[in-house]
Amino acid sequence: MSDKLKYNPMDAAALRDPWSGYASRRGECPVAHVSETEAPFWMFFKYADIRRAYLDNKTWTARYGTSPVFQKSIGFVADGKEHTEFRNIFKKRLSAASLAKFEPQVRELAERQLDLMLAKGTYVELHDDFALPFPVAVVSLLLGIPSDDYHRLKRWSDELMDLGFGQDNAAFLKVYHDVCDFFDGFIEQREALLAKANITEPKPAHVGTILPDDWISDAVCGDFQGRRLTRPEQRIALMGLLVGGNETTTSLITNLMWRLLEKPERWEKVKQHPSGLIPIAIEESLRCDPPALGMFRTSLCPVTVAGIEIGAKQKLWLPNGAANHDPEIFTNPEEFWLERPADELARHMAFGVGAHSCPGAPLSRMEVKLVMEMFVRRMPDVKLDGPTERNVGFNFWGRKKLPLKIG
């Protein structure tokens, strides 16, 4: 492999500041090969190449998994009609109409978590005291599981995400089995309710009637290719939803507050025009600091990009972060800018693009809008109170420490 193709997104400088590396690669060679990892992969750096690959499912598939290791095709990790049908079982709970129904409960969860944080006094830790537990509580509500043990749910969610990247298969399997046992308990409760009602063929109409109105019931009653989901499909769906909705939304909250408070004049502006500026600030945070820095695909056939030949069955990391900082698309991309034009904001790729783009986007936007409105109202004089620290893992970008002074 030629030296000009080498790049390591895991070296200390790239972890500290991924953006400079992306910028220099765009100028030198917009394709790289990462071989320092257990499982090697390719990377693109230009918005146009990244977007094209996301949308070209004939060349780049999600069927072998969206991590650097090769996985079995199941559930969300599939292509075409099979993937769309599976995704639709769970996506309908994330539609605007369904979310409107949940909004009062989500608001109440946010108010309650904020009460707990503010009760701690003047000095708080935004990540631990709010940004971590709140999304866990929301995802638990939609799943239909209790969230009181959010430390365990969060630990599982983090471990599934980190260990799924292939470093330690035995450790991954241990967590995987624990989480399977946990979800199996809830699935079996729903099956017992159906049996009690003499229902031998569960149908979507039983969700919210015989069974509680939540994702566990969707997993039990969902219609997939004319049949019910198998137990492994049910488990993988529930795990995907648990993992998908946690760390990402936590990072959106901490990244956004960090950018607003590091320049107090930004916070002042948002406070003066919350209804207009909160939605813009959320989109600019997603663009400038995407919580998922990238997603993986696998090549189905040989392909040439920017003059570089890539063979079949090669893993590719599509860095949403590099796309979102491409100066061909975004004016002064390194700047967090509350005045960024709407047409630029609409082009960010924080939620991916195409068939696998994030079905949870409307939920996390709703959560974070409610939260920001509450922060403006209930802690208007908040300030940063010390240095922030980034989370671990080259694929994620968020603050795992954000100390605040409330008043």
What residues make contact with ligand HEM under the rule CB under 6 A? 62, 66, 76, 87, 139, 240-241, 244-245, 248-249, 252, 291-292, 295, 320, 350-352, 356-360, 363-364
Tell the smallest beta-carbon distance from residue 47 to ligand HEM (Å). Answer: 15
Q: 222 or 240, CB closer to ligand HEM?
A: 240
In whole angstroms, the minimum distance from the beta carbon of 401 to ligand HEM comes to 19
Category of 332 on φ-ψ map: left (φ > 0), alpha (ψ -120 to 50) or beta: left
Least distance between ligand HEM and beta carbon 347 (Å): 14
CB of 405 vs ligand HEM, minimal distance in Å: 26
Q: Nearer to ligand HEM by C-beta: 25 or 87? A: 87
| Beta carbon nearer to ligand HEM, 194 or 214 | 214
Q: What are residue 401's phi and psi, to 5 degrees?
A: -135, 125
Pick the closest to residue 140 from 118, 163, 115, 109 (CA basis): 109
Please report, to the nearest 10 degrees, the dihedral formed by the alpha carbons of residues 196, 202, 204, 206 taken in order. Answer: -10
Nearer CB in complex with ligand HEM: 194/322: 322
Name the closest residue to ligand HEM (Cβ).
360
User: CA-based angle 58:229:218, to the nearest 5?
Assistant: 105
Q: How far is the CB of 272 from ligand HEM (least distance, A)?
A: 25
Minimum distance from CB of 74 to ligand HEM (Å)?
12
Strand extents, DSSP E, 164-305: 295-299, 303-305
Instruction: Look up residue 120 and give its amino acid.
Output: K
Element (H, E) at 33: strand 31-34
Residue closer to ligand HEM (CB basis): 24 or 105: 105
Least separation in angstroms between residue 250's CB and ligand HEM is 9
Residue the block writes with tokens 């993937």:
83
Q: What are the DSSP calls for 71-83, one per residue?
A: ---BTTB--HHHH
Q: What is the DSSP letter of 314?
A: -
CB 116 within 8 A of CB 105: no
